[in-house]
């Protein structure tokens, strides 16, 4: 590791950053620059630098050595790179002929492929809410299946509390360089290490529960605080609630997608709640004080005299909380004048008098024979 590398700057954190801050920075940057996602020039190298920085700063001993000496390997001195010629080709110091060859044909001495930390996969969970639950929010526990760290070996893959050792064959690279004689001469190729299978770690005694993988399928339960005012189709992210990462990398995230059941009485327009209220012609014409339902409970609503159908009345603060910003929306009541389908004789006489007083000559439609028979069966 070159002294010129500033691992803190690579991850964008301060030198006194906590383990959680380093982990969050690594997760964010590794997703941004992953070669499978980011195809911009230099993204792959940036991804390697991020992984290298995380490998050092996430290890307490390596980080302490780096902070003191500028290298995770401790104080350097003497010879070339502090190792002397005796280490040339031995997998340290210059990194050996393997690394010199690799530097010309892609890659380098740093661990690649399966040896790199890989953040765990993100998961998605659908949560169904009733209308009022979305308005006021709630706390609830959810359970889902995921790949978690093995509870027996704590994710190391090794039995009896042991820690995996650097592979004795590939020296932690995850690959070996193989020479073959061909008609064109001696050719070199890189192959996955058959001892560690590309992980760079050698486990002498594998955990019986996870067979050395460090992960196991589990039913995970977590408490979720549903924010008040959430709407249908919106989602929230829970850090580290996804699947376990590989090679010491952090867990992925859990994305909860909300589906809100429609209400038979209300509708949502952002933080505002919409409702329709039926009133009679007399109430609309003369005015009245009526009870109107809200999600916060019934309130008294004043219907002004002469109110027309489809008039909208706003009830301040009777809506849903605003997710972005502060305060609460309103309830908007649409007044609809209800016209009765069946009138008794007194009601008809009263309306005829009203029409006459208004200077209108109304000729009521007589009920059909079918209507009379139907009303007779209904006892009218």
Query: Is residue 210 annotated as involved in ligand binding?
Result: yes
Residue with tokens 């980011």: 38
Q: How far apart are the first and last CA of the chain?
A: 96
- In a 10 Å sphere around its CB, with 0-12 CB exposed, 13-18 middle and 19+ buried, how is residue 291 labelled? exposed
Average pLDDT along the chain: 82
- How would residue 157 be classed by pLDDT, with cut points 50, 70 and 90? confident
* 288 annotated as a binding-site residue: no
Report, as an integer, the average pLDDT of 169-181.
84
Cα gap 5→1, rounded to integer Å? 8
CA gap 87, 98 in Å, rounded: 13
Residue 153 assigned ligand-binding role = yes
Question: Is residue 207 annotated as involved in ligand binding?
Answer: yes
User: Does 307 or 348 have the greater pLDDT score?
Assistant: 307
Residue 34 phi/psi, 5-degree rounding, is: -60, 130
Comparing 80-94, 175-189, 284-298, the range with the smallest average pLDDT is: 80-94
Is 197 annotated to bind ligand?
A: no
Higher pLDDT among residues 338 and 94, named by residue: 338
- Whole-number pLDDT of residue 286: 92
pLDDT for the residue 284: 93
List CB contacts of 269: < 8 A, sequence separation 6 or more.
332
Q: What is the pTM of this model?
A: 0.59
Annotated binding-site residue? 52: no
Q: Does the pLDDT of residue 186 top 60, yes or no?
A: yes
Q: Which region among 16-20, 24-28, 96-100, 298-302 has the lowest average model confidence (pLDDT)?
A: 96-100
pLDDT of residue 103 exceeding 50, the answer is no
Percent of the chain, pLDDT > 90?
40
Q: Residue 72: what pLDDT?
A: 61
Looking only at the bridges linking them, the beta strands covering 311-315 and 331-337 are: antiparallel
The model's pLDDT over 346-355, given as tens digits with 9 standing for 90+, comes to 888 888 888 8
* Res. 77: pLDDT tops 50: no
- Which of 52-66, 85-99, 237-251, 346-360 is predicted least confidently? 85-99
Domains of the chain, each with CATH number or no CATH:
1-76 (1.10.287.110), 82-109 (no CATH), 117-152+215-261 (2.60.260.20), 267-337 (2.60.260.20), 345-377 (no CATH)
Residue 309 has what pLDDT?
A: 93
Segment among 8-17, 177-186, 257-266, 273-282 with least mean pLDDT: 177-186
Give mean pLDDT, residues 158-180: 85
What backbone phi and psi angles, to 5 degrees, belong to 25? -65, -40
Split at pLDDT 50, 70, 90, the class of 92 is very low
The response to whether 97 counts as a known ligand-binding position is no
Annotated ligand binding at 171? The verdict is no
Mean pLDDT of 158-162: 84
């Amino acid at each position: 590791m070159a002294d010129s590398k500033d691992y803190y700057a690579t991850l964008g954190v301060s030198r006194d950053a906590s383990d959680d801050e380093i982990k969050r920075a690594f997760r964010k940057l590794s997703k941004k620059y992953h070669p499978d996602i980011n195809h911009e020039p230099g993204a792959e190298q940036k991804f390697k630098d991020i992984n290298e920085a995380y490998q050092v700063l996430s290890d307490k001993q390596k980080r302490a050595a780096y902070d003191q000496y500028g290298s995770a390997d401790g104080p350097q001195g003497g010879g070339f790179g502090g190792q002397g010629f005796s280490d040339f080709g031995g997998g340290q110091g210059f990194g050996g002929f393997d690394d010199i060859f690799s530097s010309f044909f892609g890659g380098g001495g740093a661990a690649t492929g399966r040896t790199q930390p890989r953040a765990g996969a993100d998961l998605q969970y659908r949560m169904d809410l009733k209308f009022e639950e979305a308005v006021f929010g709630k706390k609830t526990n959810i359970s889902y299946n995921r790949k978690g760290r093995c509870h027996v070996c704590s994710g190391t893959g090794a039995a009896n509390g042991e820690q995996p050792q650097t592979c004795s064959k590939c020296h932690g690279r995850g690959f070996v360089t193989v020479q073959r004689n061909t008609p064109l001469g001696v050719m070199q190729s890189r192959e996955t290490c058959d001892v560690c299978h590309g992980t760079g770690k050698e486990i002498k005694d594998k955990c019986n529960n996870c067979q050395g993988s460090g992960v196991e399928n589990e039913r995970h339960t977590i408490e979720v605080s549903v924010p008040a005012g959430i709407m249908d189709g919106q989602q929230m992210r829970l850090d580290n609630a996804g699947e376990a990462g590989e090679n010491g990398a952090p867990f992925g995230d859990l994305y909860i997608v909300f589906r809100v059941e429609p209400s038979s009485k209300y509708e949502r327009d952002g933080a505002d709640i919409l409702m329709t209220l039926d009133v009679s012609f007399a109430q609309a014409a003369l005015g009245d004080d009526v009870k109107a339902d809200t999600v916060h409970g019934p309130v008294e609503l004043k219907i002004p005299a002469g109110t027309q159908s489809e008039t909208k009345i706003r009830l301040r603060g009777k809506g849903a909380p605003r997710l972005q910003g502060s305060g609460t929306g309103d309830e908007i009541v649409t007044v609809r004048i209800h016209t009765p389908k069946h009138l008794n004789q007194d009601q008809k006489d009263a309306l005829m008098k009203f029409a006459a007083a208004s200077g209108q000559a109304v000729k009521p439609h007589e009920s059909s024979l079918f209507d009379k028979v139907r009303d007779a069966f209904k006892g009218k």
